[in-house]
Amino acid sequence: MTFSIAHAEQELHKRSATLNTRWYPRYHLAARAGWMNDPNGLVWFDGWYHAFYQHHPYSTQWGPMHWGHARSKDLVHWEHLPVALAPEGPEDKDGCFSGSAVVDGDTLALIYTGHKFHGDSSSDDNLYQVQCLATSRDGIHFERQGQIIDTPAGLHHFRDPKVWREGETWYLIVGSRVGDTGQVRLYRSDDLRLWQEDGILAEAQEGMGFMWECPDFFTLNGKCVLMFSPQGLAAEGYRNRNLFQSGYLIGDWLPGQQFVAQSEFIELDHGHDFYAPQSFLTPDGRRIVIGWLDMWESPLPEQQDGWAGMLSLPREIRLGADNRLRMTPAEEMAVLRGSYYPLLAQQLKNQSAPVVEEAEAIELELVWEMNTATAECYGFTLGDGLRVFVDAQSQRLVLERRYPQFALEGSRSVPLPAGDRLALRIFIDRSSVEVFVNDGDACLSSRIYPQETQRQLAIFASSGSATLSSGGYWPLDK
């Protein structure tokens, strides 16, 4: 099959007209139709936020990757634009894989991985991944500049470039695999076209994964943050429960040296579905992160509806005094709020209390008093499929989903925060929930698939009592 942007647009026009929207998000970014995974090229350019993403327009399955494209004035209301990249050249004939975007004067530059096989595609021995460049003056139509970095000798997995500028120098990091060891390699350039190797920025120690995908590197409060998605981490107790993880290391770095980690690997989001996060700066200097709100090799029931995959809410990250990232919804999310419906302070004892009959797109706030609670479990439910609750015996906050008809069952959890107050800020969309704990202590994000009659939202306490000291919700809509 010959791929082109024109063919992709024709296919999307046809497929988008037949979507079943029962789970299609009301306020998250999803593709017009077909498959979506990693966010790419998040950037502010010429008065717009731009979000690119891995995209297969021709089916709801992963396939030869294109770059989908949307833009927004406010990080909330997204306008779909034509597909930005299609696998049209010899350097990317089997896919335009993940990458990043930077502003170079009056030009928007996309730096991405060209994915190609020389021979039989069933063997990684024939796989080559190179880094490529495309540029635009209007932020919509891109001119392909071809390959800018070749595959290093002996490597096959070499992908997901992230580019930034310090002074007059551009830096580029890229994830790679050497044997069964993940690496982040570093390059530098004066013009985005000619690149010089600058060594290994960081490398996996034993047990830290065979491939480090989607690396990102930035500074917060004078410390360097290396954010990446390692493949091959073993589950350990409550940690690393997903097939693949995403998280970060905190440390120090100077040009010409290796990154020196000063923390253990910390997962960024503790739900079932969050991968390949990428960050960017807003014009006012906030560091925003968006991730793929799905997980590899997890069932995606929306595929039967003509689409697959979505992106998370934009989240602001800050570095706390404990050298951990705190992640909260971007302040722009407030523009979606309708009228506020407060909840009365109340004590629940072995009972459930309704909050809203149909929670399809809402933001919910709940503040629980932990020091007076005697209940073994207390929290909220959405129909029969979702429970988010305090487990007093394990002293953890648990997100439990149960959709056995789709083979989606199980729980994820985080330790309860210190103190006597548990404040939850919860975003529910048609097929997702994102729970933010105590103004950034933790976040749990998961896909959910309620039937039409299973969207009743309620608070509860079982095997004892619990006090809701305050709460309320806003309907959200575009």
Give yes or no: 38 in active site: yes
Contacts of 333 (CB under 8 A, 6+ apart): 76, 313, 314, 363, 427
Buried b / exposed e over 291-314, threshold 16 CB at 10 Å, is bbbbbeeeebbbeebbbbbbbbbb
Numbers of helices and strands, H then E, in the chain: 1, 33
Catalytic residue among 38, 92, 160, 294: 38
Q: Is 406 helix (H, G, I), strand (E, B) or coil?
A: helix
Residue 306 contacts residue 18 (beta carbons within 8 Å): yes
Q: Is 199 left (phi over 0), alpha (psi -120 to 50) or beta?
A: left
Q: Is 6 helix (H, G, I), strand (E, B) or coil?
A: helix
Q: Please choose, from the candidates 135, 133, 188, 132, the residue with its C-alpha nearest in 3D space to the C-alpha of residue 158.
A: 132
Residue 85 contacts residue 96 (beta carbons within 8 Å): yes
What is the C-alpha to C-alpha distance for residues 389 and 413, in angstroms, rounded to an integer?
Answer: 9
Q: Please choose, from the candidates 383, 366, 379, the residue with its C-alpha nearest in 3D space to the C-alpha of residue 431.
A: 383
Contacts of 214 (CB under 8 A, 6+ apart): 38, 98, 160, 162, 175, 228, 229, 246, 276, 277, 278
Contacts of 104 (CB under 8 A, 6+ apart): 135, 192
| 290's tokens | 């968006």
| 271's tokens | 């739900």
Contacts of 117 (CB under 8 A, 6+ apart): 94, 126, 127, 128
**101: buried, middle or exposed (CB in 10 Å: 19+, 13-18, 0-12)?**
buried
- Give the active site residues: 38
